[in-house]
């Protein structure tokens, strides 16, 4: 979907989209084309991240220069948050927003695009699909995914991909073995 939409823009359109996405939100109203561009950018980010945790042992990943600070601050603020399967309420309810706001705001100016919209998986053992995805801020994504990586929760995705890639493949049929 994202690739097709990006290809449809062409080179000039893609360059214009990149420029448009770099402008502050206040510069725009509710332009549906811009919303599509933001959705494509969020989808591409999610796709790259999932491919990364599928192919590299997540415990060795470093997502930002501030991973240690993000993780320690996150776990101080959200000691009991079970990250295996999150709910919308844990991120989006009024109470959750009150808890998340001070955590997120302390990374303003430290983490690039800390408040940009990013797709986040609710169940860490599943892929980015509609019923397993929520829109979160970039710093929420970093905090949750850094914790999932360090606490071994994303290991299921990595091990699942390893077992798929190490399963024996049937030899290709050639004219010699027909």
* Structure letter (DSSP) for residue 136: E
Give the pTM. 0.74
Residues 119, 128: contact at Cβ < 8 Å?
Answer: yes
- Give whole-number Cα distances, 125 to 2, 34, 74, in Å: 23, 31, 21
Whether 106 shows a pLDDT value over 70: the answer reads yes
- pLDDT tens-digit series, residues 22-44: 666 566 566 778 778 888 888 99
pLDDT digits (tens, 9 = 90+) for 77-93: 999 999 999 999 999 99
**Helical residues (DSSP H) of 78-154, grouped into ranges:** 88-92, 94-105, 138-150
Q: Per mean pLDDT, which range of 1-5, 74-78, 141-145 is the poorest? A: 1-5
The Cα-based distances of 86 to 21, 34, 39, 92 in angstroms read 29, 29, 21, 11
Please give the pLDDT value at position 3. 55
Q: What is the pLDDT of residue 178?
A: 46
pLDDT, tens digit (0-9, with 9 covering 90-100), for 146-175 = 999 999 999 999 998 787 766 555 444 444
84 and 90 Cβ atoms separated by less than 8 Å = no
What domains lie within the chain, and their CATH numbers?
Answer: 2-160 (1.10.3560.10)
């Amino acid at each position: 979907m994202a690739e097709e939409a990006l290809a449809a823009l062409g080179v000039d359109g893609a360059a214009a989209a990149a420029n448009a996405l770099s402008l502050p939100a206040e510069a725009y109203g509710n332009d549906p084309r811009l919303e599509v561009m933001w959705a494509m950018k969020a989808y591409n980010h999610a796709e790259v991240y999932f491919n990364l945790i599928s192919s590299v042992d997540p415990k060795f990943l470093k997502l930002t220069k501030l991973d240690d600070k993000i993780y320690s601050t996150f776990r101080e603020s959200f000691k009991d948050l079970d990250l295996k399967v999150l709910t919308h309420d844990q991120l989006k309810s009024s109470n959750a927003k009150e808890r998340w706001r001070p955590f997120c705001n302390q990374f303003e100016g430290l983490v690039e695009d800390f408040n940009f919209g990013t797709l986040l998986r609710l169940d860490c053992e599943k892929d980015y699909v509609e019923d397993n995805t929520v829109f979160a801020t970039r710093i929420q994504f970093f905090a949750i995914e850094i914790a999932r990586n360090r606490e071994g929760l994303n290991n299921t995705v990595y091990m699942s991909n390893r077992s798929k890639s190490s399963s024996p493949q049937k030899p290709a049929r050639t004219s010699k073995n027909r």
